Amino acid sequence: MSSKSSTPTQTGLNALLLTDGPHTMDMLSAVTSGFGMAKRHKARTLEEAFDLHKSNPIDLIILDCSTAEMDGIAITRRLRTEFEGEKSETPILAVAGHASQVQIGQYRDAGASFVVAKPVAPGILLQRILWLAKDMRDLVNTPTFRGPDRRVRATGLPAGIEKGRRATDLDATVSEIAGQNLDQSKIDDMLKPVRVNLL
């Protein structure tokens, strides 16, 4: 589902499911099966996920990982940075149990395409998958960020700007959950493309 490939149909979608628990895997597998996705590759470890991603054509990665051993934000960043070409451009849909503004921002900054808050509503999940299937945005690939271009016009950084990080960005070492969970519409607002005027 990269910006350079044709849009796959729902039934022809090759999805990689990565979860840190068997119940979550069963739920995601059942829901995506109900959407008509016949090709679902299931991984319960990061190593399995990387092996499956390397050896199979994957159009979408859905991950639900929130333990110290399986940190979804770190996994998202690794999926973006440790693969090259189309493999690094695969859309990543993260499922988050804690949907605070800080955590959603961290997923966004790690390169997630979308974040869906728990409890997962199948209708919301399907809407996000269909949106990603139609998404034709390029990916930004810089030394500090690799992920979907959130700007409507992809014209690069303004003249004179050396780094793409804002001074107000939080340090990635935040360890405690900060703030209240956001509702899905606010999560969507943080991750949607925005119009920019660089002139």
User: What does the pLDDT look like over 72-103, one tens digit per residue?
Assistant: 999 999 999 999 888 989 999 999 988 889 99
Tokens of 36: 């008509």
Per the prediction, the chain carries an average pLDDT of 81
- Can you say whether the dihedral through the CA atoms of 173, 184, 53, 34 is positive or negative? positive
pLDDT tens digit sequence for 28-58: 999 999 888 878 999 999 999 999 999 999 9
pLDDT greater than 80 at residue 151: no
What's the mean pLDDT in 123-137? 85
Task: Find residue 94's DSSP bridge partners.
Answer: 63, 115
Q: Count up the domains in the chain and report the number.
A: 1
What is the rounded distance in angstroms from the CA atom of residue 97 to the CA atom of residue 67? 11
Residue 2 lies in a domain: no
pTM of the entire structure? 0.71
Residue 126 lies in a domain: yes
Residue 196 lies in a domain: no
Residue 6 lies in a domain: no
Phi-psi region of 22 (alpha: psi -120 to 50; beta: other; left: phi over 0): alpha
The domain that holds 51 is classified in CATH as 3.40.50.2300
Residue 187 lies in a domain: yes
Q: What is the span of the domain harbouring residue 112?
A: 14-153+161-191
Residue 165 lies in a domain: yes
Residue 9 lies in a domain: no
- The shares of helix, strand and coil residues in the chain, as percent rounded to the nearest 5, are 35, 20, 45
Residue 26 lies in a domain: yes
Give the residue with greater pLDDT, 193 vs 170.
193
- pLDDT given for residue 57 in this prediction: 92
